[in-house]
Amino acid sequence: MAVLNEEQEMLRDMAREWTVNESPVTEFRKVRASGEPEAFNRDAYATMAQMGWAGVIIPEEHGGSDFGFLSAGLVVEELGKTLTASPLVMNTVAASAIVLGGSDEQKARWLPRLASGEAIATLAVDEGPSHDPAKIETSVSDGKLSGTKAFVHEAHGADLFVVAAKDGLYLVEKGDGVALTTRKLTDQRSHADVTFDGAAAEKLANGGDSLLDDVLDRARVLTAAEMLGMAQQVFDDTLDYLKQRVQFNQVLASFQALQHRIADLFADLAQMRSAVEAGLQAVDAGFGVARAATIAKAEANRVMHTMANEGIQLHGGIGMTDEYDVGFYLKRARVLEQSFGSSSWLKDRFSKLSGY
């Protein structure tokens, strides 16, 4: 596990206490039942912003705390444990794009609003059914951006879109020239195809040619952090279930075959945590980010996929019912596994990064 300083421990503990007491899975059930396209509670997100979570990676001069990505990951992990529906991950990723590539004017205009929760931003990159940032057809002419982005996370609540075009990243505000088509995915969160038709756009001119890759790597490590929290919770819930469920007059946890499966999951979870925390720390250090982020997301995909499947199987048939929460984690996992790189895409990227 990563060695945390006192401020990071306090941040993690605050996030853990808040999610357990104020945002358990029952709150996600309420969001799901509401059927609202935004698919998150704005009052809850306002509280997160008041606690400083929306500004963890934003510099102090723009209203943030500049605690870094490891600190942001600690918060996101706790949110993942209770499936808290919020735009925090995408807002943080979009803010990082402005931090890395924005002008002083763009930073001054947007970062304080994103840190305070006054505005929400998201990232729009992919244009097809799978993640492939090499295939971007969105273009800009005379400051007007046109193109369609697929499966944009948290699009319904976004005031600002960070959009990938052929020649770089652009800031596009919601409004004229921006249209959303809701996509219903299995996790019951906010997803949409976003069509930009001559929308006013401002380029993020700093950050160099690697800006898109740098931003996507940050999306990968934060998504992996959410998956880490989910995997930890599925493991804990499944172990608790095995300890109290009686079958053939014996507690299930007493069966050696099931003990072996739990032991394997425990080892997988430890490996996942190591990879995810290494990815977050690499971003903060600015060294080996691409490789570390690729490993973090690939390992998160592998372990979360297995953990969700095993969680359902070890619960038995009842794990498939809506009464138990474990099924929600599997549904969210399937969406996140494909976000910002499937396992096969990430393996291919790692091989290219390694010179093969």
The residues near 142 (Cβ < 8 Å, ≥ 6 apart) are none
State residue 246's pLDDT score.
84
State residue 1's pLDDT score.
78
Percent of the chain at pLDDT exceeding 90:
93
User: Is residue 230 located within the same domain as residue 347?
Assistant: yes
Q: Is residue 91 part of a domain?
A: yes
pLDDT reading at 95 higher than 90: yes
User: Is residue 12 located within the same domain as residue 146?
Assistant: no
- The mean pLDDT of 17-35, rounded to a whole number, is 96
User: Is residue 105 located within the same domain as residue 127?
Assistant: no
Instruction: Give per-residue pLDDT as tens, 30-87.
Output: 999 999 999 999 999 999 999 999 999 999 999 999 999 999 999 999 999 999 999 9
Q: Is residue 1 part of a domain?
A: no
Angle at 205 between CA 201 and CA 211, to 5 degrees: 105
Instruction: Give per-residue pLDDT as tens, 187-232.
Output: 999 999 999 999 999 999 998 899 999 999 999 999 999 999 999 9
DSSP 32: H
* Cβ proximity of 228 and 80 under 8 Å: yes
What is the domain range of residue 160?
Answer: 121-203
User: Is residue 99 located within the same domain as residue 126?
Assistant: no
pLDDT reading at 254 higher than 90: no
Instruction: Give per-residue pLDDT as tens, 132-189.
Output: 999 999 999 999 999 999 999 999 999 999 999 999 999 999 999 999 999 999 999 9
User: Is residue 63 located within the same domain as residue 107?
Assistant: yes
Band (pLDDT 50/70/90 cuts) for residue 6 is very high
Instruction: Provide the CATH number for the domain around residue 340.
Output: 1.20.140.10
For residue 163, count CB atoms less than 10 angstroms from its CB and return exposed for 0-12, middle for 13-18, buried for 19 or more.
Answer: buried
Q: Is residue 155 part of a domain?
A: yes
Number of domains in the chain: 3
Instruction: Provide the CATH number for the domain around residue 111.
Output: 1.10.540.10
140: which strand partners? 145
End residue of a domain, out of 87, 116, 145: 116
H or E element: which one contains 160? strand 160-165
For helices 289-315 and 343-353, angle between their N-to-C axes, nearest 10 degrees: 150
Helical spans, DSSP H, in the chain: 6-22, 25-34, 42-50, 69-81, 88-101, 104-116, 211-244, 256-285, 289-315, 326-338, 343-353
pLDDT reading at 277 higher than 90: yes
pLDDT reading at 276 higher than 90: yes
Q: Is residue 45 part of a domain?
A: yes
State residue 44's pLDDT score.
97
State residue 16's pLDDT score.
97
